[in-house]
Amino acid sequence: MQTFEEYEKTVPSYVPKGDIHWLMGRVHVGTPDAEIEQEIRRRLEAMIRAGKANEGMVAECVKYAIACHRENQGLYNAVVTGRF
């Protein structure tokens, strides 16, 4: 299985990794993936309407956001179980 660091190197350059990473750092680790996707789509809605983003770009952003969320969940689990 690919690590987050390995995956992050393959993310297309148009994905705003810093912005998404910052946002996911402020989302509760128990937040469902569907809510993560909804939030990313909401934030990109204006870009889609303006023709500056397409569904493929949005899907990549959602995928990256969920990967960041998983990384945060793993860190949380490591801290609460004493494996950190």
H or E element that contains 24:
helix 17-24
Is residue 48, in this structure, part of any structural domain at all? yes
Is residue 18, in this structure, part of any structural domain at all? no
pTM of the model: 0.92
Please state the domain count of the chain.
Answer: 1
Is residue 44, in this structure, part of any structural domain at all? yes
- The reported pLDDT for the residue numbered 19 is 96
Is residue 68, in this structure, part of any structural domain at all? yes
pLDDT in tens, the chain (84 residues): 889 999 999 999 999 999 999 999 999 999 999 999 999 999 999 999 999 999 999 999 999 999 999 999 999 999 999 987
φ/ψ of 10, rounded to 5, equals -95, -5
Is residue 8, in this structure, part of any structural domain at all? no
Is residue 79, in this structure, part of any structural domain at all? yes
Contacts (Cβ under 8 Å, ≥6 apart) of 39 = 23, 27, 65
Is residue 35, in this structure, part of any structural domain at all? yes
Q: Which domain holds residue 65?
A: 31-84
